[in-house]
């Protein structure tokens, strides 16, 4: 914070006079920090993540215009009606479907209020239960992806994670003195795609909690939520109607969310898919029943099938097309693309002509998008100025001073967000509060939470803002369409239970982070762009995977190692025998190191109970000392610039002396045995790190030493293919110009150099090349070295042929045995089994505070 801003803020606070703030130029400083801070404010809305917002808004409004909600509500009410509380369950089910398609709270609540509320009241449902169910179900679009609030939170949290990373690195340097922080301690950021994946399971959990509550309520109070018979009966025609109603929205959900989960599309691309899919759906839902109603949609589906077949069976790279089959695939693809464009274009024309729907959708999308971005700009200005005036530091100091560590800070932040939800809109909370508190929470190494988990927790909390009076928007929407017989107080009573259920879901997700973290981790580790097994952030969990695999194989790995030792290397080059010996020795060392890891980890865990309270105490005292020392140094610098006769200087110097006494008092509270306790614990953690590094080195060596043998044997066909080139070199060396002969020898040497195990041939050819150089021009020596190359080549042909039956089977069996365990780190990609284990393992938050 600049000194000028500090002065303005202090004058305003101490004087408690608004005019003092204006007289000292406070507004100018505010404008400079907030409005004129172009880099920090206006660039805030230029991030690619935000492109998805208008696309999903367009998708939601288009589906709203297609009246999908009405069809779903009527059909699902008949399907679930005979179940106790069935009408309420149907509302929750439809709310979840609409959340995953339209995501528009107001439209969903209004549609349910107009269609389902009268039916529920007519069938003697409790007004409180009916209104609470409708209001709560309508807000599911805020947590079930695709959700606008999740996109905004992802955007804010990506920036917050960068700030948190810098804060954690600074903390690590302060407490350890080390310049660089290991990458495994970095703060985990997030993206909109990860937020969608992370929120999916909590969203489904919330839906199931709602349904379970309604079912339980109906069983306890059957008169307040009775079953309703289906007049049409459950026949084939009815089930066909259910399928026709459900398939389109489910297909759209699968296209949008499935493309993100499968890694086929980014969030922005999925938003475009959703916008087009919604238009195609509206293209047949907004026109009367006739024989050609579904034609554009059928053309689109058929075209997608054609494109899928073409992509799956042909190489679609038009630049590389050379055969008739390649061009056939391209022509099929062009035909499918043309059909897709025709179907989509036809649908757009329909929604343009029918009641000018497309124009209305575009206008509403523009209004809503502009509203969101205006709020983002305003919030960015406010946040920028707030930081410039030191507000972030004040919040940080307040949270850090709370007893109870991270979880006390987190609880306070969640409580503040919940209370703000009574008065503020969800976007305002997301873009004002999150940038201030998120870096502080993410930087704390004791919890080491992921940004996606924090985002989903905040998203679940913000969702309550639609239900909390007096400004709960869902209540306003429902009040506008509810009949007069339903009292406002009944609506308030109805949402209390669902707010409680939302808080229960919040607690469940908070206590079990894998509900959020698992799907993003799984998607990442199973994708084509998955990190390799050597990725530092995967090592701890990969060590655990290998330990479990070795424990479960009942000695199969050790048996494979012993079998490898018996491989006959008679008449083989020395390097093959040495490689097998080195590999098996390293494999045994890796197994021993695995046991050592467990012993060292147990020692650290046993010592942790006594060390952690002391560490918490000392780090807290050190933090207070640093804060006081920083303030003291500022005052001392200020005093040094004053004249000696200035009366304020004496006051400041007295304050400096007092602060020095405070620091001395705090330092005296540090236990006398702290240094010894710290050194002892550090030796234990160093021993664990040493054991892990020893295992990893040994495992890598075990694989690499044996793999080089297979690489040598795999190179045999290429080695044999060079025989004609080698024989053709003789006349060149005998009669060609020295420069020409040197170039030929050099080219052949390079060819052998690229083959594993051909070093002796390459070495002889290299000497022949040197003998033919301009400086030496020694043809006789070159021919002698060439003869050595021929002899070495002939020897290699013999042992390579013998190794195919004598060595290869045993080495392959050995490598297959260690590939999935001690050799896992040396592989290019994770296996599916490893990826699933690591996804589960890394989804738990690991406390890092002992390293700080």
Q: Is residue 86 classed exposed, middle or buried when 0-12, 13-18 and 19+ CB atoms within 10 A define those classes?
A: buried
CB distance 116 to 134 below 8 Å: yes
Contacts of 455 (CB under 8 A, 6+ apart): 150, 153, 154, 157, 190, 195, 198
Residue 247: is it exposed, middle or buried by C-beta count within 10 angstroms (0-12/13-18/19+)?
exposed
Give per-10-residue mean pLDDT for the chain (852 aa).
44 45 47 48 58 80 77 82 87 84 73 82 89 89 84 87 88 81 85 89 94 92 86 79 83 81 78 86 79 84 88 79 82 89 89 84 84 72 67 69 79 90 80 85 88 93 86 81 86 91 94 93 88 90 92 88 89 88 92 90 89 87 85 85 81 87 89 89 91 92 91 89 86 84 86 86 87 82 87 88 89 91 91 93 88 79
Radius of gyration of the chain (CA): 35
pLDDT of residue 765: 85
Helical spans, DSSP H, in 314-471: 324-353, 357-388, 391-400, 405-420, 426-432, 434-443, 451-463
Given the structure tokens 């969800």, which residue do they identify? Answer: 426
What is the 3-class SS of 14-73, one letter each residue? HHCCHHHHHHCCHHHHHHHHHCCCHHHHHHHHCCHHHHHHHHHHHHHHHHHHCCHHHHHH
Is-above-0.95 flag for pTM?
no
**Token pair 């703060």 is at which residue?**
187
Q: Residue 213: its pLDDT value, please?
A: 94
Which residues 6+ apart lie within 8 Å of 603 measured at CB? 684, 687, 688
* Burial group, residue 73, by CB count within 10 angstroms (0-12, 13-18, 19+): buried
524 vs 530: CA distance, rounded Å:
6
pLDDT score of 182: 83
């Amino acid at each position: 914070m600049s000194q000028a801003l500090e002065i303005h803020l202090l004058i305003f606070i101490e004087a408690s006079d608004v005019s003092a703030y204006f007289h000292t130029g406070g507004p100018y400083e505010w404008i400079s920090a907030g409005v004129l801070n172009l880099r920090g404010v206006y660039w805030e809305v230029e991030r690619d993540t935000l492109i998805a917002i208008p696309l999903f808004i367009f998708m939601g409004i288009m589906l709203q215009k297609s009246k999908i909600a009405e069809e779903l509500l009527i059909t699902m009410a008949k399907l679930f009606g005979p179940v106790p509380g069935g009408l309420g369950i149907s509302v929750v089910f439809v709310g979840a479907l609409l959340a995953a398609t339209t995501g528009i709270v107001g439209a969903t609540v209004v549609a349910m209020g107009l269609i389902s509320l009268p039916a529920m009241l007519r069938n003697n449902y409790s007004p409180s239960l009916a209104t609470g169910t409708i209001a709560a179900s309508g807000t599911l679009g805020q947590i079930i992806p695709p959700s606008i609030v999740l996109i905004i939170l992802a955007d804010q949290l990506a920036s917050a994670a960068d700030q948190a990373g810098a804060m954690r690195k600074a903390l690590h340097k302060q407490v350890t003195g080390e310049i660089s922080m290991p990458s495994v301690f970095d703060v985990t950021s997030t993206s909109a795609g990860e937020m969608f994946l992370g929120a999916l399971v909590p969203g489904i959990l919330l839906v199931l909690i709602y349904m379970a509550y309604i079912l339980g309520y109906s069983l306890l109070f059957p008169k307040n939520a009775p079953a309703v018979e289906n007049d049409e009966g459950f026949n084939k025609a009815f089930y066909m109607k259910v399928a026709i109603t459900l398939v389109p929205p489910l297909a759209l959900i699968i296209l949008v969310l499935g493309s993100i989960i499968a890694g086929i599309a980014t969030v922005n691309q999925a938003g475009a898919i959703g916008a087009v899919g919604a238009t195609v759906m509206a293209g047949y839902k907004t026109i009367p029943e006739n024989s050609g109603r579904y034609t554009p949609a059928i053309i689109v589906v058929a075209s997608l099938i054609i494109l899928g077949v073409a992509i799956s069976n042909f190489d679609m790279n038009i630049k590389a097309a050379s055969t008739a089959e390649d061009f056939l695939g391209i022509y099929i693809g062009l035909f499918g693309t043309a059909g897709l464009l025709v179907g989509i274009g036809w649908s757009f024309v329909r929604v343009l002509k029918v009641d000018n729907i497309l124009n209305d959708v575009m206008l509403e999308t523009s209004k809503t998008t502009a509203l969101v971005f205006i709020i983002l700009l305003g919030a960015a200005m406010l946040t920028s100025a707030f930081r410039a005036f030191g507000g972030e530091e004040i919040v940080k100091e307040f949270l850090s001073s709370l007893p109870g560590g991270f979880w006390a800070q987190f609880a306070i932040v969640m409580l503040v967000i919940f209370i703000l939800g009574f008065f503020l809109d969800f976007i305002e909370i997301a873009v004002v509060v999150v940038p201030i508190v998120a870096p502080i929470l993410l930087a704390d190494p004791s919890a080491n939470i992921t940004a996606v988990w924090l985002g989903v927790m905040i998203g679940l909390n913000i969702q309550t803002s639609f239900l909390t009076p007096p400004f709960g928007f869902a209540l306003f929407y429902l009040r506008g369409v509810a009949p007069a017989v339903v009292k406002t107080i009944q609506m308030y009573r109805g949402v209390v239970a669902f707010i409680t259920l939302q808080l229960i879901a919040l607690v469940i997700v908070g206590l079990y982070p894998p509900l959020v973290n698992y799907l993003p981790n799984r998607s990442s580790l199973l994708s084509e762009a998955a990190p390799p097994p050597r990725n530092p952030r995967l090592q701890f969990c990969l060590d655990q995977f290998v330990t479990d695999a070795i424990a479960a194989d009942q000695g199969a790995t050790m048996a494979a190692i012993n079998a490898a030792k018996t491989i006959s290397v008679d008449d083989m080059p020395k390097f093959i025998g040495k490689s097998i010996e080195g590999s098996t020795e390293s494999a045994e060392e890796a197994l021993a190191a695995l046991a050592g890891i467990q012993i060292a980890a147990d020692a650290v865990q046993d010592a942790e109970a006594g060390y952690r309270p002391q560490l918490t105490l000392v780090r807290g005292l050190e933090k207070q000392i640093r804060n006081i020392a920083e303030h003291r140094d500022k005052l001392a610098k200020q005093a040094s610039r004053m004249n000696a006769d200035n009366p304020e200087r004496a006051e400041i110097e007295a304050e400096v002396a007092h602060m020095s006494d405070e620091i001395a008092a705090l330092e005296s509270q540090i236990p006398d045995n702290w240094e010894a306790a710290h050194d002892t614990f550090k030796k234990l953690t160093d021993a664990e790190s040493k054991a892990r590094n020893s295992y990893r080195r040994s495992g890598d060596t075990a694989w690499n030493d044996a793999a080089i043998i297979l690489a040598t044997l795999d190179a045999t066909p290429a080695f044999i293919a060079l025989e004609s080139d080698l024989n053709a070199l003789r006349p060149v060396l005998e009669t060609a110009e020295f420069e020409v002969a040197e170039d030929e020898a050099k080219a052949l040497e390079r060819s052998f150099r690229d083959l594993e195990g051909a070093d002796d041939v390459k070495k002889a050819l290299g000497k022949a090349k040197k003998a033919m150089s301009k400086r030496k021009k020694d043809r006789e020596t070159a021919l002698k070295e060439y003869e050595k190359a021929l002899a070495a080549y002939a020897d290699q042909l013999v042992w390579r042929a013998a190794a195919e039956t004598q060595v290869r089977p045993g080495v392959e069996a050995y490598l297959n045995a260690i590939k999935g365990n001690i050799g896992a780190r040396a592989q290019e990609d994770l296996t599916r089994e490893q990826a699933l284990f690591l996804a589960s393992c890394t989804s738990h938050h690991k406390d890092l505070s002992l390293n700080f």
